Amino acid sequence: MSKGLLSPIDLGPYHLPNRVFMAPLTRNRAPGTVPNALMAEYYAQRATAGLIISEATPVAAHGHGYPDTPGIHTTEQVAGWRGVTEAVHARGGHMFLQLWHVGRISHPSLQPDGALPIAPSAIRPQGEAVTPEGPRPFVTPRAVTLEEIPGLIEDYRRGAANALEAGFDGVEVHAANGYLIDQFLRDGTNHRTDRYGGSIENRCRFLLEVVEAVTGVWGPERVGVRLSPLNPFNDMHDSDPRATFTRVVEALDRFGLAYLHVTEWGSDEPGAAGPPFDLQELRRRWGRVYVANGGYDQARAEAAIREGRADAVAFGRLYIANPDLVERFRRGAPLNIPDPATFYGGDAHGYTDYPTLDGTGT
């Protein structure tokens, strides 16, 4: 069979039916931070994806940065997620949990005991936090001490172990989009002078130690990593993203992970060091499954796979509005249009009520 978007793919120990992956999508539908039956229905509707990557899921109470995001750090959360994975597996799907810590992209109103958010360095991001009381200006975070870092790595290890208990098929380490690990990687947010800052090798250290801890739970063949080398989201930048992220990928490649998931949004800043950064350089340096993400439609995704620029493509907004996205791609059918007003928070409306081709919402 010729390789295409709807062709099967081997991912670690799994033989997946297609290369249409569901990207991680924060939906803020977990009151009390515990996954629920509505979430189980939502994910089960999308179980025909080659792989579902869960919404970003904090590994610790101090890792939350948005209201009503589900965690993976309490027994209640583990039980709630188990209901989700059982629903997905009952429909033949595969699902990885995305392990998350927001770092400085939080607010004292979302932190235990109203504490300051933590970050590699005490640098306040531009913009506003999303709090239960509405938008609030970001605060200057507290720089984590060297002595605290092993505890953070343990948070990721425990989150990975909880994901295993909850019945997931693997985990993805969220090292993208301006959250804690990305804050360590990029020199715009990491001004440390100890062994976790300064050189690229030092700025990579936190990610590599997290990956080592997580693969100790799952084995490398059931772990992926997500990066966003050029994404400015959450006030992020790096003086030389090409040098930083080629080194990151080379270091990750040695683990033998299941996949690398790259968010392709963004571009080099004017005056950045070196020539423009072609993200395909990362793909060429990566020895296993490469998952592309960034506003793809079916035609672009098919071309990327056919031309060898990706092995699979993760779709975000299209999956919000089209639970049967694989079948719509298969038939060349029209797509539902997503409603941005219902992306974050709310109830079943704009969440589980998008119709499938047979006219149902399930």
Residue 267 makes CB contacts below 8 A (sequence gap 6+) with: 230, 276
Averaged pLDDT for residues 292-309: 96
pLDDT value for 52: 99
Averaged pLDDT for residues 26-45: 98
Averaged pLDDT for residues 259-283: 79
Q: Specify the residue for token string 């939906």.
A: 27
Nearest to 217 by CA among 253, 165, 258, 266: 165
**Do the beta carbons of residue 295 and residue 265 sit within 8 Å?**
yes
pLDDT value for 230: 94
Over 80: is that where the pLDDT of 7 sits?
A: yes
Amino acid at 239: S
Question: What sign has the CA pseudo-torsion 245, 58, 80, 136?
Answer: negative
Q: Report how far apart, in Å, the C-alpha atoms of 111 and of each of 117, 175, 228, 308, 334 are.
A: 7, 21, 26, 44, 43
Q: Which two tokens stand for residue 332?
A: 């060349």
Over 50: is that where the pLDDT of 271 sits?
A: no
Over 80: is that where the pLDDT of 2 sits?
A: no
146-169 tens-digit pLDDT? 999 999 999 999 999 999 999 999
**Do the beta carbons of residue 6 and residue 326 sit within 8 Å?**
yes
- In which band, very low, low, confident or very high, does the pLDDT at 128 lie, cut at 50, 70 and 90? very high
Q: Which two tokens stand for residue 156?
A: 């990721």
Alpha helices in the chain (DSSP H): 37-45, 75-90, 149-165, 180-185, 200-218, 241-253, 280-285, 298-306, 317-321, 325-331
Over 70: is that where the pLDDT of 268 sits?
A: no
Over 50: is that where the pLDDT of 131 sits?
A: yes
pLDDT value for 100: 98
Q: Coil, strand or helix: which one is 227?
A: strand
Averaged pLDDT for residues 314-326: 98
37-45 helix and 75-90 helix, angle to the nearest 10 degrees = 30
Averaged pLDDT for residues 13-22: 98
Helix and strand counts by DSSP (H, E) for the chain: 10, 14
Over 50: is that where the pLDDT of 93 sits?
A: yes
Rounded to whole angstroms, the Cα distance separating 126 from 140 reads 10
b/e map 289-300, b = 16+ CB within 10 Å = bbbbbbebebee
344-355 tens-digit pLDDT? 999 999 999 999
**Do the beta carbons of residue 89 and residue 163 sit within 8 Å?**
no
Over 50: is that where the pLDDT of 296 sits?
A: yes
Q: Which two tokens stand for residue 206?
A: 């936190």
What is the residue-averaged pLDDT of the chain?
95
pLDDT value for 160: 99
- In which band, very low, low, confident or very high, does the pLDDT at 51 lie, cut at 50, 70 and 90? very high
222-235 tens-digit pLDDT? 999 999 999 999 99
Over 60: is that where the pLDDT of 272 sits?
A: no
Domains in the chain (CATH in brackets) are 21-292+305-312 (3.20.20.70)
Q: Which two tokens stand for residue 299?
A: 């035609």
> How many Cβ atoms are within 10 Å of 233's Cβ, its own excluded?
16
Active-site annotation, residues: 179
Query: How many Cα atoms sit within 13 Å of 173 on the Cβ side?
Result: 32
Nearest to 40 by CA among 294, 263, 362: 362
Q: Specify the residue for token string 């504490």.
A: 115
> How many Cβ atoms are within 10 Å of 317's Cβ, its own excluded?
15
